[in-house]
Structure 1
């Protein structure tokens, strides 16, 4: 089982990450990936020029790794990768890339879904949007918390 968890301070290429994840893979029947992009419009419809993800070195990586380790223990996957941006991100850039490889698709889909639900609500990032109207801090929404909560008692 390979577990690759990284924090990226510079723009990342989801295509390159996926290509590397797929390279040489012959024993799995499924790979599911997710790419999260920075939007240019906030939840209230305002223009977003920059999304900033602040992080605390060591703590943020640990929180990401714990989530990935939980996914690896919970689902029948052979490999997982989680790459999350931090710092300033402009609209259209990749914020997060996750991929899960498994013998069968359901485990790969569930692992990727689980990773994203927990990363969105539990990874140690502090998010803010900057636009013409100023700066505003972003918190997970109730629906984000509900999505993560559905995994509490659910087994794969």
Structure 2
């Protein structure tokens, strides 16, 4: 019994199609379901179509602005912040999505930069985690476990220390 995703075996390079029209249709189907980065779309198309066909279709989607990596990066960064991810964890996630370093940096600067009132979104996320998930450990005197858990999530020590201070003081 083979354990391939969705019951399909990977296609050999000579079995892949060069039909650009079919690749374009497949790209539109994929983009209708969810927003993808250009790297993600290329990888998915590359499963069934040749590298040249996949690259041409991705370039066409970018030209028509069906794909915009900068927009995708910022949208994804907002979702990661809402999921209480650290800036470091968000950067890693965006790199895994195949985005360029410049786009990642721009998106993170736009989302994780403190607002005009001076509130740091990353600090707010860490404080929310301490308040919700780790409050009982903190009350039990296991501050070390809280610090270790937040460090594994990618938060810097200064952010962790401030988040714990806020929760302990009841801000």
More contact order relative to length (CA 8 Å, sep ≥ 6): 1
In proportion to residue count, which structure has more strand? Answer: 1
The TM-score, its normalising length taken from structure 2, stands at 0.23
In proportion to residue count, which structure has more helix? Answer: 2
The TM-score, its normalising length taken from structure 1, stands at 0.25
